[in-house]
Amino acid sequence: MKRISVTLVSLLCVIRLCAEDAPTIHMIGDSTMADKPRLDLPERGWGQLFPEFVMPPAKVDNHALNGRSSKSFINEKRWETVLASLKPGDWLIIQFGHNDQKADKPGTYAAADGEYRDNLRRFVRETREKSAFPIIATPVVRRKWDADGKFIDTLGKYPAAARAVSEEEKVPLLELHDLTLKMESGAGVEGSMRLHFKGDDTHFSETGAREVSALAAAEIHRLRLPLARWIRTLPRD
């Protein structure tokens, strides 16, 4: 009986320590990553499906929002709120670019080789100041094909700018741009439609969001990040 009691106490201690060690994975970004509150509509952000790949007691806190750029996320004080919630040992996944490139919208526009890079550096450095761990994700592609059936990349200099900041700051990089380009182009003109929401070539269906989440999970394992111990490479049943 004494041996059983000691074993049970040891197990409870391991469980408690595991729970204390489990990180929160914070996410900041735009509508391609954001949670979609209307579950009756089949539109999903990939961050909304990412919890399927996370093993409890680790958890996801998705702060990504429709229409936001790295600039507006800061100017609206949303970054201030996220930063205040970061705890030592937490992780932050950063994915912007879609709205940063909209030069006709001064409230969101941030030049790829200027303010966009500066904002990514700020996210990285301030996260590290909180003893948390930043990860940069290159922006996912939009679905766009030309008349000859050739896939067109619309993100311009933004993926390269994200890679540059990753290299400069020595931050892990989830290469979602190249991987989603391969995913979309590999599916073909017709097949890629299933990845998106009712003909919307930017936003994902549940199928597309889950596939992008799987790519992000696989990238975390490829990079052999300490976070990988909490990440499945396949969604839970």
Q: 91: part of which helix (H) or strand (E)?
A: strand 91-95
In a domain, 139, yes or no: yes
The beta-carbon contacts of 162-170 under 8 Å, at least 24 apart in sequence, are: 162/97, 162/120, 162/136, 162/137, 162/138, 163/138, 164/117, 165/117, 165/120, 165/121, 165/124, 165/136, 166/136, 168/121, 169/121, 169/124, 169/125, 169/134
Q: What pTM, to 2 d.p., does this model score?
A: 0.90
Q: For residues 58-68, give the mean pLDDT.
A: 98
pLDDT interval class at 3 (50, 70, 90): low
Q: For residues 65-87, give the mean pLDDT.
A: 98
In a domain, 34, yes or no: yes
In a domain, 10, yes or no: no
In a domain, 152, yes or no: yes
Range of the domain at 59: 22-230
Q: What is the pLDDT of residues 141-153, one digit of tens each?
A: 999 999 999 999 9
d(C-alpha 71, C-alpha 15), whole Å: 41
In a domain, 6, yes or no: no
In a domain, 12, yes or no: no
Q: For residues 169-185, give the mean pLDDT.
A: 97
In a domain, 151, yes or no: yes
**How many separate domains does the chain show?**
1
Cβ atoms of 139 and 94 closer than 8 Å: no
In a domain, 66, yes or no: yes
Q: What is the CATH number of the domain that holds 167?
A: 3.40.50.1110
Over 60: is that where the pLDDT of 17 sits?
Answer: no
Highest mean pLDDT among 8-22, 28-42, 61-75, 194-208: 61-75
Dihedral of the CA atoms 100, 105, 106, 112 (nearest 10)? Answer: 20
